[in-house]
Amino acid sequence: MSDLHPTLAGAFQTVLDRNPGEAEFHQAVREVLDSLNPVVAKNPEYADQSIIQRLCEPERQLMFRVPWTDDEGGVRINRGFRVEFNSALGPYKGGLRFHPTVNLGIVKFLGFEQIFKNSLTGLPIGGGKGGSDFDPKGLSDGEVMRFCQSLMTELYRHIGEYTDVPAGDIGVGGREIGYLFGQYKRITNRYESGVLTGKGLAYGGSQVRTEATGFGTVFFTREMLATKGLRISGRRVIISGSGNVAIYAAEKAQELGAQVVACSDSGGYIVDEDGLDIALLRQIKEKERGRVSDYAEQRPNATFHAEGSVWDVPCEVALPCATQNELDDDHARSLVENGVLAVAEGANMPCTPKAVEVLANAGVLFGPGKAANAGGVATSALEMQQNASRDSWHFDHTEQRLDQIMVDVHARCAEAAETYGQPGNYVAGANIASFIKVADAMLSMGVI
């Protein structure tokens, strides 16, 4: 952590005072502000117009009751959230997360990150995030449907293709988006395709959206390695998580010739020295909603480990694709000792600030989530484009668009890092490049 410019220090103190106990939100804000000293010093109008203070205060925060009935007839209550953080660049855009750990602070951290991630894509989307403390694990499709319908019965009045466009995140995939879209359509009596992204291909979804976050993380990693004259082909890769992001990161890494040998879930991790069988992993995780331990039972050379950490598995490329703060400084030291070359965040803020410091000090290439996992939301913006023009693109074309977007995101980060005297520092580059675009848009619009 650096000493902050007085304007940044003041803004940070206000965040601490106004949002007590929201540790993840504080962490996300601090990480961005830590990069902005040279920007504020060079551009005094950002301080004069209180741009930083305004950026740290969401434009709107919604919190509401979500009652639903379980299969036994019992009435259950969850809490729904939507934080509409910043609309300087476009309608609020960001996913919904369904997980028992969701609270207002988590949604704010994710919404804050989303502003900068979305800016980096170069596409016209603002930042927002939402979700619920609902736990879909072990529930029937009918229960998940009733919950989604109840959530949308409140959420519909706040969203719209020009207002706020939710999508998926942890616990929200194709099934949930389908139920949510169906209820929105029913309440509003409008076929407003662009109100949600991550839709099914049968009703306005985009090719590559399911794969996009994982694919994009690997494209970003490829670009980082290329700056050192290195290739991903032949490299040993480990991935945490086994959800949507992890599965498609593994698939693309393998397609580019890497050897992906490990992944995980909340119960432990698996090592498969033969290289992960992605079709089997998908079958277990997506169709059967099973665990990685089930995978190990079905593969002759795979082992399951309930103890220890996936980050102890030696590798050259590590892709944390599970959840926030899953990779700490001890894990980072273990990766460095084992010779890791590059780490790219497929999840949002999976590395702790201390872990990032350890990796940076060891000269490891590090791609922060707001750059490395921007491919998901970027492809959501491509879905919005297709919906607005009532069009639907082929897989290859859409993947090429995604690839080019990730090349551009990488270039924006590298260029800003260079301009502000920190070549190779993708954290600084991502924060600076994305901030300048949002701040300039806000300045143009006056005091709003």
Report the catalytic residues: 129
Q: Tell me which residue has its CB nearest to ligand GLU.
A: 95
Residue number, 270 or 344, with CB nearest to ligand GLU: 344
Phi-psi map region of 233: left, alpha, beta (phi>0 left; psi -120 to 50 alpha):
beta
Residues from 148 through 187 that contact ligand GLU (CB under 6 A): 167, 169
Q: How far is the CB of 443 from ligand GLU (least distance, A)?
A: 26
Q: How far is the CB of 268 from ligand GLU (least distance, A)?
A: 25
What is the size of the binding site for ligand GLU (CB under 6 A)? 11
Q: Which residues contact 105 (CB under 8 A, 6 or more apart)?
A: 19, 21, 22, 23, 24, 25
**Quick check: helix, strand or coil at residue 67?**
strand
* Residue 241 makes contact with ligand GLU by CB under 6 A: no
Instruction: Tell me, residue by residue from 37 to 76, as one string, x for binding to ligand GLU by CB under 6 A and - for no binding.
Output: ----------------------------------------
Contact (CB, 8 A) for 161 and 390:
no
Residue number, 348 or 352, with CB nearest to ligand GLU: 348
* Residue 119 makes contact with ligand GLU by CB under 6 A: no
List 377, 414, 417, 442, residue binding ligand GLU (CB under 6 A): 377
Instruction: Tell me, residue by residue from 86 to 105, as one string, x for binding to ligand GLU by CB under 6 A and - for no binding.
Output: -------xxx----------
Residue number, 312 or 399, with CB nearest to ligand GLU: 399
Residue with tokens 């979500």: 66
Q: How far is the CB of 41 from ligand GLU (least distance, A)?
A: 30
* Residue 197 makes contact with ligand GLU by CB under 6 A: yes
Residue number, 169 or 176, with CB nearest to ligand GLU: 169
Closest by Cα among 92, 54, 34 to 431: 34
Q: How far is the CB of 95 from ligand GLU (least distance, A)?
A: 3
Give the pairing of strands 236-240 and 259-265. parallel
Q: How far apart are CA 398 and CA 434, in angstroms?
A: 24
Q: How far is the CB of 97 from ligand GLU (least distance, A)?
A: 7
* Residue 380 makes contact with ligand GLU by CB under 6 A: yes
List 81, 376, 405, 442, residue binding ligand GLU (CB under 6 A): 376
State the DSSP string of 174-240: HHHHHHHHHHHHHHHT---GGGSSS--GGGT--TTHHHHHHHHHHHHHHHHHHTTT--STT-EEEEE
Query: Going edge to edge, which strands form the sheet with 92-98?
Result: 60-69, 75-86, 127-132, 92-98, 164-167
Q: How far is the CB of 96 from ligand GLU (least distance, A)?
A: 8
Q: How far is the CB of 68 from ligand GLU (least distance, A)?
A: 23
Residue number, 193 or 259, with CB nearest to ligand GLU: 193
Angle between helices 395-419 and 209-226 (to 10 degrees): 40
List 210, 348, 386, 398, residue binding ligand GLU (CB under 6 A): 348
* Residue 111 makes contact with ligand GLU by CB under 6 A: no
* Residue 128 makes contact with ligand GLU by CB under 6 A: no
Distance of CA 332 to the CA centre of its chain: 20
* Residue 204 makes contact with ligand GLU by CB under 6 A: no
Residue 141 CB neighbour total at 10 angstroms: 10
Please give the sequence-ordered ranges of beta strands (E in DSSP) within 31-173, or none if there are none: 60-69, 75-86, 92-98, 127-132, 164-167
Distance of CA 138 to the CA centre of its chain: 24
Residue with tokens 């892709």: 319
Q: Which stretch binds ligand GLU (CB under 6 A): 18-26, 249-257, 279-287, 375-383?
A: 375-383
Identify the H or E element spanning 260: strand 259-265
Closest by Cα among 28, 33, 29, 27 to 5: 33
The residues of the shown chain that bind ligand GLU, judged by CB under 6 A, are 93-95, 117, 167, 169, 197, 348, 376-377, 380
